[in-house]
A and B are shown apart, each in its own frame.
Chain A
Amino acid sequence: MKIAVCIKQVPQTTEVKINPETNTLVREGVESQVNPFDMYALEEAVRVKERLLEKGEEATVTVITMGPPQADAALREAISLGADEAVLLCDRAFAGADTWATSFALAKGLTKIEPDLVFCGMQAIDGDTGQVGPGTAVHLDYAQAAYVAKIETIEKKKIVVKRLIENGYEVVSLRLPAVLTVVKEINEPRTPSLRGKMNAKKAEITVWKAADIDAPADKVGLLGSPTQVIKIFSPPHREGGERWTGESPELADKLAGLLKEMEII
């Protein structure tokens, strides 16, 4: 079975601030990391691979990302955690992509890989959209399930998953190939082994440009993106308000009075 994982390199922190005087992004000292949700996606992919290998079946995990040359680091980290191959979609033409154009490019890359199963994180912590996974599934014309919290069973042509919905869970059976987006609940990611780290160091990262994946220029990057960001600004600043200290009964009284004032009780 060929398994693929889509990952994204994101800033180490979301504590990105706008300087109110200059209205510019303060970006000093922000390092990158693999999007936390993608770590769960990767871990689950590696676990599926290990289960299949144990049963004597073949399985590989290919990790793919779209990004600048620096995204190489994210792919190597994925290899240190058990991915076998890594693909970087890197081209000037991909720059400025919104979720439509991103999912298009990823799907084009994945088409070359021909995976049976694709894992994505439920969303990235910088964009917070959750749209790229489902969008990629549509571009690929694969079956798809979002917010997957557990893989129940997996067979050659079929997978059964439990996914998180508003008021509980839903158990869904999907015909493969399929795209799954996963939530944090699905597993606890491992830390890299020494051998993993060695593999990551010497791994060859495959780099594909737009032409390599047959992606026309008018469907990728800013040009291929239906949406445009026209302004960025800081949200209204929240400031700490009144504060009380004292003995617990006193504070409980105060709080009850406050809730009464707010007409909650």
Chain B
Amino acid sequence: MSIRVINEKCTGCTLCTRACPQGAIEVNDKLATIDLDKCTFCGSCVSTCRFRAITIEIEKQAKEDLSQYSGVWVFGEQWKGELSPVVLELITAGRQLADARKSELAVVVLGDKLDNVAQLLSEYPIDKVLVYESPELECYDAEKYTRVLTDLCRELKPEIVLAGATTVGRSFLARVAVQLYTGLTADCTGLAIGEDGLLHQTRPAFGGNIMAEIVCPYTRPQMATVRHKVIPTSPKSSNGSKPEIVKIEPKSKLFGSRSEILEFIKLVEDTVNIVDADIIVSGGRGIQAPENFAMLEELAKALGGAVGSSRAAVDAGWIPYSHQVGQTGKTVCPKIYIACGISGAVQHLAGMSSSDTIIAINKDPNAPIFQVADFGFVGDCLEIVPMLTKKIAAMRGTGN
């Protein structure tokens, strides 16, 4: 592995000096030199140089014949027979990738009593549903699931494996990728097959301030978790063709585990999970008191949405952490995000700035939230929100 400046091509323009996050490049006498003790091979300089004067050479090649891998797999995450909504989005992405590669799209489902899930999936434009059914797999178990999917990948050799960037998907695929010694890109927002035939994966980093395009050239499968709500849900099959449902014989030797689920505590709240919500009504410091969150809940209920919050409101103990949006909370991507009394610190924006439409209500006309809001309302959210809820009820003719 080496990085070097091609002296004949370097013009000494200093673009690379400014690009280097490590401060490892100096330009003297119109020639860049790289301090190898500081360089981390991040590649920023390579992609910045307009003269292709810097190269990173990796003496690396595939250790096996990659052409034996084909097909796109989507992990059909389900919970007690209920399919995770992100799976239908992955089918959209998977279909496009499989078509581009002229290969098959399969959805892999692990669990117990999966007939309904397989039935539901068979209405979508996929070629195969791989069903791996066992009472041992009823709930997600990190060790069992890892062994099963690793085994399936080794045996059936898919070229691409996708999962939702859910709490399960992100940690589960990380485990499988380590076992298979292959690459995994987290939280992708864009996937495409490049001219090189590779899966080009685009993902945000640094709280969404930077996008990176990533490939996995030498190992298979190419794996990615995909952020919920950035890809449209797949339509059902239009031509009436049904996928083949393949039941895989479970191997009991894969089922040992050092962990055991003792209990589920389902959050009993009317307001849906913020990650799944199309509309989020979110409150911050401007909500002023815990009891005022009730008005956000009412508005969310009227709109069929969920209640989110800024870190400030969680830290003040006004609302549980599971509602927190932002850098140390959840990243959400709803159709509409209504920020009420949220100033819009960068940490908060990191979690919601990819929402389709942002509406902000804030007393302070200088609040940074207005710089990202498509529609800004300078006013008191404590007054406006209940009025809006009433208005909606009136417009719907429910009269209260």
Contact = CB atoms under 8 A, between A and B. Distances in A.
Interface of A: 11, 13-19, 22-27, 36-37, 68, 92, 95-96, 98-100, 103-104, 125-135, 137-139, 143-147, 149, 160, 162, 164-175, 178, 181, 183-185, 221-223, 225-235, 238-249, 251-256, 258-260, 262, 264-265
Given A100-B183, A223-B58, A171 B262 contact: yes
B184 A166 contact: no
Contacts of B12: none
B210 A234 contact: yes
B262 A160 contact: yes
B174 A131 contact: yes
B177 A244 contact: no
Contacts of B168: 165-166
Contacts of B58: 222-223
A168 B183 contact: no
Contact of B258 (A98, A143, A232): A143
B263 A255 contact: no
Interface in B190-228: 200, 204-219
Given A130-B186, A134-B142, A243 B321 contact: no
B152 interface: no
B353 A231 contact: no
Interface residues of B, number: 118
B206, B320, B370 pick with most chain A CB within 10 angstroms = B206
Contact of B388 (A162, A232, A235, A256): A256
Contact of A24 (B19, B167, B178, B181): B19
A128 B346 CA distance: 15
B241 interface: no
A23, A25, A125 pick with most chain B CB within 10 angstroms = A25
A143 B256 CA distance: 11
B86 to A, nearest CB: 10
B41 A241 contact: no
A192 B370 CA distance: 37
Contact of B143 (A17, A143, A251, A256): A143
A128 B207 contact: yes
B175 A138 contact: yes
Nearest to A265: B392
Nearest to A238: B372
Contacts of B171: 130-131, 133-134, 144, 146-147, 181
Contact of B374 (A125, A241, A248): A241
A166 B391 contact: no
Contact of A174 (B18, B219, B259): B259
A255 B40 contact: no
Given A131-B174, A243-B378, A259 B328 contact: no
A25 B336 contact: no
A135 B174 contact: yes
Contacts of B60: 223
14 contacts: A36-B328, A128-B207, A131-B186, A133-B174, A144-B143, A164-B322, A165-B168, A175-B259, A231-B212, A233-B213, A239-B372, A243-B376, A251-B361, A252-B388
A221 B36 CA distance: 14
B262 A172 contact: yes
Contact of B184 (A18, A131, A231): A131
A246 B328 contact: no
A117 B209 CA distance: 34
B350 A146 contact: no
Given A164-B167, A173-B259, A184 B328 contact: yes
B357 interface: yes
Contacts of B166: 166
Nearest to B396: A265
A264 B40 contact: no
A131 to B, nearest CB: 4
Contact of A169 (B37, B38, B265): B265
Given A131-B177, A255-B377, 7 more contacts: A24-B44, A96-B42, A98-B183, A100-B184, A133-B171, A230-B200, A264-B303
B269 to A, nearest CB: 9
A13 B346 contact: yes
Given A171-B263, A235-B209, A241-B373, A264 B279 contact: yes
A251 B207 CA distance: 32
A240 B370 contact: yes
A188 to B, nearest CB: 9
A146 B167 contact: yes
Given A135-B175, A244-B378, A128 B186 contact: yes
Contact of A221 (B1, B173, B211): B1
B376 A240 contact: yes
Nearest to B170: A130
B208 A95 contact: no
B356 to A, nearest CB: 10
The 10 nearest A-B residue pairs measured at CB: A226-B183, A96-B41, A14-B207, A252-B387, A227-B183, A131-B174, A129-B186, A24-B19, A243-B376, A143-B258
B101 to A, nearest CB: 19
Interface in B1-34: 1, 15, 18-19, 21-22
B392 A256 contact: yes
A227 B167 contact: no
Contacts of A181: 171
B43 A229 contact: yes
B64 interface: no
B384 A252 contact: yes
A61 B379 CA distance: 50
B248 interface: no
